Amino acid sequence: MARWQQGTVVENQHWTDTLFSLRIEVESFAFAAGQFAKLALDLEGERIARPFSLVNPPDGSPLECYLVLVPTGRLSPVLHRLQAGDAILVSQQSAGFFTLDEVPNGDSLWMLASGTGVGPYLSILQTDTPWQRFARIHLVHSVRRTKELVYRSLIHVWQQRYPEQFRYQPIVTREPCEGALTQRLPALLGSGALERALGDRLGAGTQVMLCGNPQMVTDCLAELAQRGLKKNLRRSPGQVTSERYW
Ligand code: NAP
């Protein structure tokens, strides 16, 4: 049973009509980068709770979640309307296994995301661990439209700070965007186009993280398996660690 603490919204940043970041002040919340919190509201006499990955680093505050408004959902339309000062329930405890502790060592770390699945990477990359553990880090974010390429100023900091170690590759699938690839992730993996764009090869030293649309995760796992990269499981370590976002 989830135990709850009272949080207060300090900011609701709307990036587009449907994409938004909620910043929430809580008394305390311990988590590892890549994990999620549960957010909840009491709506029409019922407590509606959903898990949301954290974007802020574990030593940072307030808590921050990057969300999409799902029009048919019960919680996200209400979260979308919250304003600074509004109350929200936050779980006492974090959960989830999409953390670097679960990822074996390697030469390169490929962080592949669609949509809001970029969230956990933003938290992980704000910690020291990935920069200490991997010689090359690639953040690849697939979105429909250019305006959905969010958190660009944060990403720019890493581009400046780690020019040799870090590559950011946007993918925009529904309109032209300079510097972005245009095909979906599984196709880009299958054709080798992502490797060419990143100037890196999928090989024995590669660790891949996958997060976002469940079908994207399934299809990327299949493409990566073709290349000999197998799923990373606790009982059987491999090269691909994945999180289905819904
Ligand atoms: P999206 O905005 O549909 O897509 C983001 C990127 O992922 C786009 O580049 C898209 O390419 C690509 N993509 C979509 N399906 C793919 C697949 N099967 N394989 C590879 N790439 C794929 O965002 P989304 O994150 O996929 O979400 C889709 C819808 O699901 C949203 O409109 C949202 O309402 C809903 N959603 C629900 C929840 C939930 O918790 N229930 C959470 C997140 C999103 P294309 O442009 O080619 O499609």
Over residues 70-80, the pLDDT tens digits come to 999 999 999 99
Give the residue, out of 67, 183, 184, 223, with the most ligand 1 atoms within 8 A of its beta carbon, to mutate for a pocket test.
Answer: 184
* 226 pocket-lining for ligand 1 (C-beta < 6 Å): no
Q: Which atom of ligand 1 is nearest to the CA of 69?
A: 34
Residue 45 neighbours by CB under 8 Å, 6+ apart: none
* Sequence-ordered list of residues with C-beta below 8 angstroms from that of 211, at least 6 positions apart, any chain: 98, 111, 112, 113, 114, 117, 118, 119, 120, 121, 217, 242, 243, 245
> Strands 206-212 and 87-91, how do they pair?
unpaired
pLDDT, mean of residues 129-142: 98
Mean pLDDT (the chain, rounded): 97
Beta carbon of 181 within 6 Å of any ligand 1 atom: no
pLDDT tens figures, 158-195 = 999 999 999 999 999 999 999 999 999 999 999 999 99
Q: In this predicted structure, which of 1-5, 64-68, 157-161, 199-203 has the lowest mean pLDDT?
A: 1-5
65 closest CA partner among 26, 98, 40, 37? 37
| Whether pLDDT at 215 is above 90 | yes
141 near 209, Cβ under 8 Å? no
Q: Is 219 in the pocket of ligand 1 (CB under 6 A)?
A: yes
Q: Whose CA is nearest to atom 35 of ligand 1?
A: 70
* Cβ atoms 137, 130 nearer than 8 A: yes
pLDDT number for residue 75 = 98
Rounded-to-integer distance, Cα 54 and Cα 65, Å: 5
How many angstroms separate the CA atoms of 237 and 148, rounded? 34
Answer whether residue 2 shows pLDDT above 80: no
Q: Give the residue, by CA position, lying nearest to ligand 1 atom 48.
A: 144
Q: Could you tell which of 52, 114, 173 is best to mutate to test the pocket of ligand 1, judged by most ligand atoms within 8 Å of the CB?
A: 114
Q: Average pLDDT, stretch 39-52? A: 97
Residues written for the chain: 246
What pLDDT sits at residue 3?
94
How confident is the model at residue 1, as a pLDDT? 61
For range 116-126, the mean pLDDT: 98
The verdict on the CB of residue 187 being under 6 Å from ligand 1 is: no
Helices assigned H by DSSP within 126-184: 129-133, 152-161
